[in-house]
Amino acid sequence: MLNKVTESAAQAMSNITDGATILIGGFGLAGQPAELIDALIERNARDLTIVSNNAGNGETGLALLLKSGCVRKIICSFPRQHDSYIFDDLYRAGKIELEVVPQGTLAARMQAGGSGLGAIYTPTAYGTLLAEGKETRTIDGIDYVLEYPIKADFALIKAFQGDRWGNLTYRKAARNFGPIMAAASKHTIAQVSEVVDLGVLDPEHIVTPGIFVHEVVHVGA
């Protein structure tokens, strides 16, 4: 009997080592896997590359992870936001590397990574500084930039319900990057508000099938 439910967030972090690339779900605070991030900070693996839409705000979650000094580089679309002073200070002090990627390109690169494509031509950012130095091509009269997949060692995401096969549902706009991050990483850890018995999730309503999920951690709702 296969059971992907892991006892604790701490245990789920045990395979994460120095130098790992980790996708972290969430858009602002919605869908941010706060408890998994706390456990990752505890884990204290160093030299991490983090891929997430934002770079954290305030003194919790992603921001705290950056503050912990574990992160060498962050790939995101929108680092500067309300209360993102931890990132801002690290960046201005040259203590963290930043790769800014348009939000749709971030999503498309993860989807390319998850689906085994080698590269994609996207029209986004053509002719701007985010395309500088990148290969371009005109196809049917439209200009495109060549972008490469994002694949990661781990994904930490937040879902709503999960079962022992790793099937997941999400809640409202907290879904955001969860499903595509799950597919783009070798080892996906999902924190869920509820663990349900196999068969409770309607096969028509499962958003992320268990094939993309390796560990499910129950956290207080």
Partner 1 sequence: MNNYTPWSVDEIARYVAQDIQEGMYVNLGIGQPTKVADFLPDDKDIFLHSENGVLGMGPEPTVGEEDGDLINAGKQYITLLKGGSYFHHGDSFTMIRGGHIDLCVLGAFEVAENGDIANWFLGRPKDIPAVGGAMDLAVGAKKVYVMMDHVNRNGAPKIVEKLKLPITGKKCVNRIYTDLAVIDVTDQGLKVRKMVDGLTFTELQTKTGAKLIDNTQSI
Site for a second copy in 97-116 (CB under 8 A): 108, 112, 115-116
Residue 152 to residue 140: CA distance in whole angstroms:
33
Residue 162 to residue 199: CA distance in whole angstroms:
11
Instruction: Find where tokens 């203590």 sit.
Output: 95
Measured at the CA of 82, the angle between CA 77 and CA 83, to 5 degrees, comes to: 110
- For residue 109, give the amino acid letter: R
- 3-state SS of 17-84? CCCCEEEECCECCECCCHHHHHHHHHHCCCCEEEECCECCCCCCHHHHHHHCCCEEEEEECECCCCCC
40 binds partner 1 (CB under 8 A): no
177 binds a second copy (CB under 8 A): no
The CB-of-122 to a second copy minimum distance in angstroms stands at: 6
User: Under rule CB under 8 A, which residues in 96-155 are in contact with partner 1?
Assistant: 98, 100-108, 110-111, 113-117, 122-130, 143
Distance of CA 183 to the CA centre of its chain: 10
Pick the stretch among 64-72, 84-92, 178-186, 196-204 that binds a second copy (CB under 8 A).
Answer: 196-204
68 binds partner 1 (CB under 8 A): no
72 binds partner 1 (CB under 8 A): no
Per rule CB under 8 A, count of chain residues that contact a second copy: 25
The CB-of-218 to partner 1 minimum distance in angstroms stands at: 17
Which residues of this chain interact with a second copy, rule CB under 8 A?
108, 112, 115-123, 137, 139-140, 142, 144, 148, 169-172, 202-205
